[in-house]
C-alpha cells in the first residue's frame, strides 16, 4: 500500500477563494493509499516546504502530491523539497488547481469538485511513479558560432577570451557581415570600417577561434553539451595555407565585369576576388559561375601568375564534423525586396516605386556604399545613372516595414535612425544639397538617438514630410516623387535627383531551413524565436542553442553587440560545469518484448534509436532490438505511442501512469 | 447557469504549448466551463489512441487532444505523427460507433490562452447538446460479442471493410 502525502495550498486567497481547500483535504485524505492530507496558506514558502519535509519523515511517505499552482511554476521547488526530505524528486507531482481551476472558474461548488478530481487522478499517478535518477552527460566545451557579422564576431571573441574553443562559420568569403558595408554609424558618426576591421583581425588572430569562411552548416545532430555539426567548406579553388594575399591574381584576372554584390552591384569585381580590401581572411575565392576557366576550360591566368602556387582548380567541397557543446546563431538579416514581387516571396514588393526600373531609386544599403570611403565612388555621393552629384535627394521611410498590406506589420527599428544619418552624411558631402524625408513616425528610442535625429532636422536642415509616397516616375533625368504631407494637408511633388528607400529588415532567405537543421523555432516572418520574450531573450527553446543579432528580429549595432555578449555569457555559464544534469524523462526499451521492427526509429525526431544486436555466448545473433540512447533522447514519447508491441516506455509518462490517471477520472 | 446535463470532458494536452496556453488562460483570469480535466503529456506524439478509448470507456462524454501548431513542436515532429495517427484513428472510432463530434483535435499555442477558452467552451457546449455518451457504456455492459453478424447493419459494415 502506498503512503502518499497530499498538500493543498491556499495560495493566499488565490485558490481558497473559489476552492474549498479544507473539503479537498478531507475528501482526499480518505482516498486509498493517502496517508495524510493537509492544507496550508503558502506551500511554496519556507514553512510550507518544511511542513512537507516533516510530513515525509513523520509519515514515511513514499509519494507526494502538491495541489497548488502550475507545475511550470513550482514543480522544481517541491521536487527539491522532496529531495531534501530524502524522497526521490520524481515521486513528487503537482496538481494544478490554480491556473487550471481556481482562476478560471467562479462557481465554488464546481471548482471544488474539479479540484478534488485533479488531486484524485494525480494521486493515482503518483502511486505508479518510479524513482528516477537524473542523467548526467559530459559537456564538450567548444562553441559553434553561425555567422560572422558583428553579432557572431562579438560572441566568438567573448567565448574565446574566456578560454574556450570557438568554431566560427561564415557563408561569405570574408567575415564582416552587413556592418562592414556601412559607411558611418549612428549616433556618433564613427566610421564603421574603423571600428569593425580591428575586431575582424582579432578573430583571425585569436588562438581559440577556428574560422571557416565560404562555409555553410550542412547538418546538426546531438543535443546540449554534445552537438555534432557538419560544416560544408565550399571549394574556394585557392589553397588558404599557400595564399599570401598578394592580390596579383585579382589584378591579372581578365574577367573583371562581374557585379560586386558587396557594393550593391554599383561596382564590378574580377572572377577571383575578395569581397572588399579589408577582408578577413584575405584569401580570394574563385567565383566558379563567372570564371572563364570553369566555364570554357580556357584561361588559367591566375594559376600562372600565382607565385606560391595557391590556385587549385580541382578543389572539392569538404565536409568537416565539429563536436561542440553550444551553438550561437547569429545569421543576420536580409533587406526587403522592393522590386516586383518574386514568385516565391510572401511579400508584395513595391513595384510602384520603380526600384530596378529607375536607376536612381536605390535602397539604404546602396546609399551606405555610395557614402563609404571604401565604396565604388570613393566616398563621393554620385547617382548611379549618370554619375552626377544629386542636389535634391528624397528619402522614403517604412518601405516594407509597418505595411500590413505588403505582408510585414513590424517596425524594422533601425531605419529612422539610419535615414537621419543619411541626411547628415549627404549634407556633409554636398553642402548645397537638400534632403527630404517622407516618414510615418520618427522612432528614436535609445541613448543619444533622439538628439541625433533632432540634429538632422534642426541643424542639418533635412525637411521631414509626414506622409507616404504614392508614386514615383522618371521625368527627363529627374525622378518625380508624389506624396502627401498629412500634417499640412497638401499634395507634395518633388523633382528629385536621387531617391533612397529605407527598406524593411527581413529574415535571411533560407532562415527557416537553417532553423529546421538546428531544431529551433521561428515566427511567421522567419525570425528565430527566443525561449521567453522577456526573461530568456537569448536562449532558444532548444537547450544549448542561443541567439544573437538580427536573426532574432531587427536590431541596431549596440543591441546586437549586447545580445551577442549575453549569448556568449550563457555559453560560458554552460561551460562552467563539467557535467550537465538533465531530466531523466527518456524512453527505455524492453528488450525482452521488442520484436525489432524499428518503427520507433522511423518516428524518432532525435535519431536516438539505434539497432542493438543481442547475441548468445557463442556470438550467434539471437535478435535485433531497438536501443534508445538516453543522452540523445528528447523525451517526446512518440516512439511509445508508435510501438506496436508496447516495448518502449517513456520514464515519467508510462502507460501505467497514464492509465491510472484515466481510471481515476 | 445550471444545465440539465454536465458532460465530462477529458483533455490530453502537450506540456509545451497547450498546457502552457491553459496556464495563460488562468493567469489572465479568463473563464470557461469547469467540465474539463486536463492530463499533461510531454507531446501529442506520446498520446496513444488507446488513451482516448479508455477515456470514453471510463465515462468521458468528450475528448480533446491539443498540442503545438504544426511546425512549432518542441520535439520537432511529434505533432505531425499525432496528426497522422488521429486521422487514421478517427475512422476507426467512427466504425466503433462513437460520434466523431465527441472528439476534438486542435492546436493551441502557449500564447493562445483565449483560444484554449474558446476550444473548451465550444466543445463543452457541443457535448451538452449531444447528451451523454451512452453507446460505449452499453457496449461495455454487453456480454462478449459472439462474432456472428446478427444485424443487417453489422453485415453491411463488415462487407464495407
Q: What is the pLDDT of residues B8-61, one digit of tens each?
A: 999 999 998 899 999 999 999 999 999 999 999 999 999 999 999 999 988 899
Whole-angstrom distance, CA of residue A121 vs CA of residue A112 = 14
With a cut of 90, say whether residue A352 has pLDDT above it.
no
CB A23 within 8 A of CB A112: yes
Give percent of chain A above pLDDT 90: 85
Whole-angstrom distance, CA of residue A426 vs CA of residue A432 = 10
Listed residue (A282, A311, A481) closest to A392, CA to CA: A481
Q: Facing residues of A490 across strands?
A: A485
Contact A585 B46 (CB under 8 A): no
Task: List own/partner pairs for A466-470 with CB under 8 A and 24 or more apart.
Answer: A466/A438, A466/A439, A466/A440, A467/A438, A467/A492, A468/A396, A468/A398, A468/A438, A468/A440, A469/A353, A469/A394, A469/A396, A469/A438, A470/A352
Q: Which residue of A has its CA nearest to B85?
A: A642
Per-residue buried b or exposed e for A252-289, using 16+ beta carbons within 10 Å of the residue's own CB: ebebeebebebbbebeebbbbbbbbebbbbbbbbbbee
Selected residue with higher pLDDT from A612 and A536: A612
Whole-angstrom distance, CA of residue A396 vs CA of residue A349 = 15
Distance of CA A497 to the CA centre of its chain: 40
What is the architecture of the domain spanning A336-506? 3-Layer(bba) Sandwich (3.50)
3-state per-residue secondary structure call for A162-215: CCCEEEEECCCCCCCCHHHHCCEECCCCEEHHHHHHHHHHHHHHCCCEEEECCE
**A4-132 to CATH, choices 1.10.3470, 3.40.50, 2.30.30, 3.10.450:** 3.40.50
What domains can be seen in chain B, in order of their start residue?
9-133 (3.40.50)
Listed residue (A625, A233, A295, A658) closest to B55, CA to CA: A658
Interface size A-B, in CB pairs within 8 Å, comes to 124
Is B2 within 8 Å of chain A by CB? no
A145: left (phi over 0), alpha (psi -120 to 50) or beta: beta
With a cut of 70, say whether residue B143 has pLDDT above it.
no
The whole-number average pLDDT for the span A137-144 is 94
**Continuous segment of H or E residues that includes residue A231:** strand A226-233
State residue A283's pLDDT score: 95
The whole-number average pLDDT for the span A565-580 is 95
CB B130 within 8 A of CB B8: no
Shared fold status for A336-506 and A587-663: no
Residue A156 has a CB neighbour count (10 Å cut-off) of 32
The whole-number average pLDDT for the span A334-339 is 81
Q: Which residues of A touch B71 (CB under 8 A)?
A: 521
A424-452 pLDDT tens trace: 999 999 999 999 999 999 999 999 999 99
Q: Which residues of A touch B15 (CB under 8 A)?
A: 72
Tell me the helices (H) and strands (E) count for chain A, helix number first: 17, 34
Using DSSP's 3-state secondary structure scheme, residue A292 falls into helix
A489-522 pLDDT tens trace: 999 999 999 999 999 999 999 999 999 888 888 8
Give the dihedral sign, CA A415/A421/A426/A429. Answer: negative
**Direct distance between the N- and C-terminal alpha carbons of chain B, in angstroms, rounded to an integer:** 45
State residue A355's pLDDT score: 81
Using DSSP's 3-state secondary structure scheme, residue A609 falls into strand
Confidence category of residue A336, pLDDT binned at 50, 70, 90: confident
Contacts of A354 (CB under 8 A, 6+ apart): A361, A472, A473, A474, A479
Selected residue with higher pLDDT from A407 and A57: A57
Q: Nearest CA of chain B to the CA of A62: how many Å?
A: 22
Selected residue with higher pLDDT from B134 and B62: B62
State residue B146's pLDDT score: 55
Is B37 within 8 Å of chain A by CB? yes
From edge to edge, which strands make up the β-sheet containing A92-96? A34-40, A4-9, A63-68, A92-96
Q: Which residue of A has its CA nearest to B24?
A: A99
Listed residue (B55, B5, B65) closest to B35, CA to CA: B5
State residue B138's pLDDT score: 67
Confidence category of residue A223, pLDDT binned at 50, 70, 90: confident
Residue B51 has a CB neighbour count (10 Å cut-off) of 22
Distances (CA, A) of B96 to A460, A537, A588, B89, B134: 79, 49, 32, 10, 13
Is B10 within 8 Å of chain A by CB? yes
A620-661 pLDDT tens trace: 999 999 999 887 788 999 999 999 999 999 999 999 999 999
A94-128 pLDDT tens trace: 999 999 999 999 999 999 999 999 999 999 999 99
Q: Which residues of B touch A96 (CB under 8 A)?
A: 23, 38
With a cut of 70, say whether residue B136 has pLDDT above it.
no
Among A219-233, B72-86, B93-107, B132-146, whose mean pLDDT is lowest? B132-146
Whole-angstrom distance, CA of residue B81 vs CA of residue A639 = 10
Whole-angstrom distance, CA of residue A377 vs CA of residue A126 = 74
State residue B139's pLDDT score: 61
State residue A534's pLDDT score: 82
B contact test, residue of A75, A96, A104 with most B CBs within 10 A:
A104
Pairing, β A184-185 against β A165-169? unpaired
Q: Which of B43, B55, B60 sits opposite A638 (nearest CB)?
A: B43
Q: Which of B8, B54, B82 sits opposite A659 (nearest CB)?
A: B54
Residue A238 per-residue DSSP state: B
With a cut of 80, say whether residue B111 has pLDDT above it.
yes
3-state per-residue secondary structure call for A354-409: CECCECCEEEHHHHHHHHCCCCCCCCCCCCCCCCCCCCEEEEEEEECCCEHHHCEC
CB B62 within 8 A of CB B102: yes
Average pLDDT over all residues of chain A: 93
Whole-angstrom distance, CA of residue A90 vs CA of residue A68 = 17
Contacts of A183 (CB under 8 A, 6+ apart): A191, A192, A368, A369, A371, A372, A373, A375, A379, A425
Confidence category of residue A580, pLDDT binned at 50, 70, 90: confident
Contact A636 B39 (CB under 8 A): no
Q: Which residues of A touch B43 (CB under 8 A)?
A: 636-638
State residue B148's pLDDT score: 63
pTM, two decimal places: 0.74
Listed residue (A58, A46, A47, A42) closest to A5, CA to CA: A58
Contact B46 A100 (CB under 8 A): no
Q: Which residues of B touch A99 (CB under 8 A)?
A: 22-23, 25-27
Q: Which residues of A touch B10 (CB under 8 A)?
A: 662, 665
With a cut of 80, say whether residue A341 has pLDDT above it.
no
With a cut of 70, say whether residue A86 has pLDDT above it.
yes
Contact B51 A113 (CB under 8 A): no
Selected residue with higher pLDDT from A632 and A197: A197
Contact B54 A662 (CB under 8 A): yes
State the DSSP string of B42-63. S-GGG--HHHHHHHHHTT-SEE
Contacts of A436 (CB under 8 A, 6+ apart): A392, A393, A394, A395, A462, A463, A464, A465, A481, A494, A496
State residue A542's pLDDT score: 79
The whole-number average pLDDT for the span A462-468 is 95
Q: Which residue of B has its CA nearest to A113?
A: B34
CB B96 within 8 A of CB B5: no
**Residue carrying the nine cell digits 560586386:** A260
**Cell representation of residue A478:** 529627374
The whole-number average pLDDT for the span A401-417 is 92
Task: Report the CATH number of the A587-663 domain.
Answer: 3.30.70.20
A368-393 pLDDT tens trace: 999 999 899 999 999 999 999 999 99
User: Which of A57-66, B89-98, B142-151: highest mean pLDDT?
Assistant: A57-66
Residue A351 per-residue DSSP state: G
The residue extents of the domains of chain A are 4-132, 139-223+321-332+526-582, 235-316, 336-506, 587-663
State residue A153's pLDDT score: 98
B contact test, residue of A100, A121, A633 with most B CBs within 10 A:
A100
CB A511 within 8 A of CB A522: yes
A contact test, residue of B9, B12, B23 with most A CBs within 10 A:
B23
Q: Which residue of B has its CA nearest to A659?
A: B51
Q: Which residue of B has its CA nearest to A602?
A: B81
B141: left (phi over 0), alpha (psi -120 to 50) or beta: alpha
Q: Which residues of B touch A637 (CB under 8 A)?
A: 41-43, 45-46, 78
**Cell representation of residue B21:** 496556453
The whole-number average pLDDT for the span B131-146 is 67
**A139-223+321-332+526-582 to CATH, choices 4.10.640.10, 3.50.50.60, 3.30.110.60, 3.10.20.600:** 3.50.50.60
With a cut of 70, say whether residue A342 has pLDDT above it.
no
A-contacting residues in B 49-78 (Cβ below 8 Å): 51, 54-55, 58-60, 71-78
Give percent of chain A above pLDDT 70: 99
Distances (CA, A) of A296 to A237, A256, A258: 16, 16, 17
Torsion of CA A9, A15, A18, A21, to 10 degrees: 0
Q: Say how many CA atoms lie within 13 Å of B131 toward its Cβ.
A: 2
**Cell representation of residue A332:** 543576420
Using DSSP's 3-state secondary structure scheme, residue B108 falls into coil
With a cut of 80, say whether residue A340 has pLDDT above it.
no
Q: Nearest CA of chain B to the CA of A634: how many Å?
A: 7
State residue B157's pLDDT score: 76
Distances (CA, A) of B9 to A309, A578, A597, B67, B133: 76, 47, 36, 17, 11
Q: Which residues of A touch B51 (CB under 8 A)?
A: 658-659, 662
Amino acid at each position: 500500500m502506498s503512503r502518499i502525502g497530499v498538500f493543498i495550498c491556499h495560495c493566499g486567497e488565490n485558490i481558497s477563494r473559489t476552492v474549498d481547500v479544507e473539503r479537498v483535504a478531507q475528501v482526499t485524505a480518505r482516498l486509498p493509499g493517502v496517508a495524510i492530507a493537509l492544507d496550508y496558506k503558502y506551500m511554496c514558502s519556507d514553512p510550507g516546504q518544511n511542513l512537507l519535509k516533516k510530513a515525509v519523515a513523520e509519515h514515511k511517505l513514499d509519494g507526494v502530491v502538491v495541489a497548488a499552482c502550475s507545475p511550470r511554476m513550482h514543480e522544481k521547488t517541491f521536487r527539491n523539497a522532496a529531495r531534501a526530505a530524502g524522497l526521490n524528486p520524481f515521486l513528487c507531482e503537482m496538481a494544478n488547481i490554480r491556473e487550471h481551476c481556481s482562476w478560471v472558474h467562479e462557481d465554488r461548488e464546481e471548482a471544488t469538485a474539479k479540484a478534488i478530481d485533479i488531486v484524485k487522478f494525480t494521486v493515482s499517478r503518483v502511486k505508479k511513479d518510479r524513482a528516477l535518477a537524473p542523467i548526467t552527460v559530459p559537456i564538450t566545451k567548444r562553441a559553434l558560432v553561425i555567422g560572422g557579422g558583428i553579432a557572431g564576431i562579438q560572441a566568438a571573441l567573448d567565448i574565446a577570451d574566456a578560454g574556450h574553443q570557438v568554431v566560427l562559420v561564415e557563408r561569405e568569403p570574408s567575415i564582416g557581415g552587413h556592418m562592414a558595408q556601412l559607411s558611418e554609424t549612428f549616433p556618433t558618426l564613427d566610421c564603421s570600417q574603423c571600428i569593425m576591421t580591428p575586431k575582424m583581425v582579432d578573430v583571425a588572430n585569436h588562438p581559440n577561434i577556428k574560422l571557416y569562411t565560404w562555409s555553410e552548416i550542412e547538418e546538426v545532430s546531438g543535443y546540449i553539451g554534445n552537438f555534432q555539426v557538419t560544416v560544408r567548406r565550399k571549394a574556394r579553388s585557392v589553397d588558404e595555407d599557400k595564399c599570401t594575399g598578394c592580390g596579383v591574381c585579382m589584378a591579372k584576372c581578365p574577367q573583371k565585369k562581374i557585379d560586386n554584390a558587396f557594393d550593391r552591384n554599383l561596382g564590378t569585381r574580377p572572377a577571383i576576388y575578395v569581397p572588399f580590401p579589408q577582408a578577413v581572411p584575405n584569401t580570394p575565392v574563385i567565383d566558379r559561375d563567372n570564371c572563364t576557366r570553369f566555364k570554357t576550360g580556357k584561361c588559367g591566368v591566375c594559376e600562372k601568375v600565382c607565385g606560391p602556387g595557391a590556385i587549385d582548380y580541382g578543389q572539392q567541397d569538404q565536409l568537416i564534423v565539429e563536436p561542440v557543446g553550444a551553438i550561437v546563431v547569429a545569421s543576420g538579416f536580409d533587406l526587403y525586396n522592393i522590386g516586383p514581387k518574386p514568385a516565391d516571396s510572401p511579400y508584395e514588393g513595391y513595384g510602384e516605386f520603380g526600384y530596378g526600373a529607375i536607376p536612381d531609386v536605390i535602397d539604404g544599403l546602396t546609399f551606405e556604399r555610395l557614402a563609404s570611403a571604401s565604396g565604388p565612388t570613393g566616398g563621393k555621393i554620385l547617382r548611379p545613372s549618370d554619375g552626377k552629384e544629386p542636389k535634391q535627394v528624397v528619402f522614403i521611410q517604412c518601405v516594407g516595414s509597418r505595411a500590413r498590406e505588403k505582408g510585414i506589420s513590424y517596425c524594422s527599428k533601425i531605419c529612422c535612425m539610419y535615414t537621419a544619418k543619411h541626411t547628415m552624411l549627404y549634407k556633409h558631402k554636398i553642402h548645397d544639397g537638400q534632403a527630404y524625408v517622407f516618414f510615418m513616425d520618427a522612432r528614436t528610442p535609445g541613448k543619444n538617438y533622439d538628439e541625433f535625429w533632432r540634429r538632422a532636422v534642426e541643424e542639418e536642415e533635412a525637411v521631414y514630410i509626414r506622409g507616404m509616397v504614392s508614386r514615383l516616375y522618371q521625368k527627363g533625368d529627374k525622378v518625380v516623387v508624389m506624396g502627401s504631407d498629412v500634417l499640412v494637408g497638401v499634395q507634395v511633388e518633388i523633382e528629385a535627383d536621387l531617391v533612397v528607400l529605407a527598406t524593411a529588415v527581413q529574415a535571411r532567405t533560407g532562415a527557416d531551413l537553417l532553423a529546421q537543421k538546428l531544431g529551433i523555432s521561428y515566427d511567421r516572418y522567419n525570425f528565430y524565436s527566443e525561449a521567453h520574450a522577456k526573461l530568456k531573450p537569448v536562449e532558444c527553446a532548444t537547450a544549448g542553442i542561443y541567439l544573437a543579432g538580427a536573426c532574432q528580429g531587427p536590431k541596431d549595432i549596440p543591441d546586437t553587440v549586447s545580445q551577442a555578449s549575453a549569448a556568449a555569457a550563457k555559453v560560458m555559464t554552460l561551460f562552467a560545469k563539467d557535467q550537465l544534469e538533465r531530466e531523466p524523462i527518456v524512453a527505455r526499451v524492453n528488450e525482452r518484448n521488442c520484436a525489432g521492427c524499428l518503427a520507433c526509429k522511423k518516428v524518432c525526431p532525435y535519431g536516438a534509436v539505434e539497432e542493438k544486436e543481442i547475441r548468445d555466448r557463442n556470438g550467434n545473433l539471437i535478435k535485433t532490438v531497438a536501443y534508445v540512447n538516453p543522452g540523445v533522447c528528447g523525451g517526446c514519447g512518440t516512439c511509445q505511442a508508435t510501438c506496436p508491441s508496447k516495448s518502449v516506455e517513456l520514464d515519467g509518462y508510462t502507460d501505467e501512469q497514464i492509465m491510472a490517471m484515466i481510471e481515476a477520472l | 447557469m445550471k444545465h440539465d446535463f454536465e458532460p465530462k470532458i477529458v483533455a490530453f494536452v502537450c506540456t509545451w504549448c497547450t498546457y502552457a496556453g491553459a496556464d495563460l488562460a488562468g493567469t489572465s483570469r479568463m473563464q470557461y466551463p469547469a467540465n474539463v480535466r486536463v492530463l499533461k503529456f510531454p507531446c501529442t506524439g506520446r498520446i496513444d489512441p488507446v488513451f482516448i478509448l479508455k477515456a470514453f470507456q471510463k465515462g468521458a462524454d468528450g475528448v480533446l487532444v491539443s498540442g503545438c501548431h504544426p511546425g512549432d513542436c518542441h520535439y520537432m515532429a511529434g505533432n505531425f505523427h499525432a496528426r497522422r495517427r488521429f486521422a487514421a484513428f478517427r475512422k476507426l472510432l467512427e466504425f466503433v460507433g462513437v460520434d466523431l463530434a465527441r472528439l476534438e483535435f486542435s492546436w493551441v499555442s502557449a500564447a493562445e490562452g483565449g483560444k484554449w477558452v474558446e476550444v473548451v467552451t465550444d466543445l463543452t457546449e457541443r457535448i451538452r447538446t449531444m447528451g451523454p455518451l451512452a453507446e460505449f457504456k452499453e457496449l461495455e455492459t454487453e456480454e462478449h460479442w459472439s462474432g456472428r453478424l446478427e444485424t443487417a447493419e453489422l453485415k453491411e459494415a463488415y462487407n464495407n471493410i
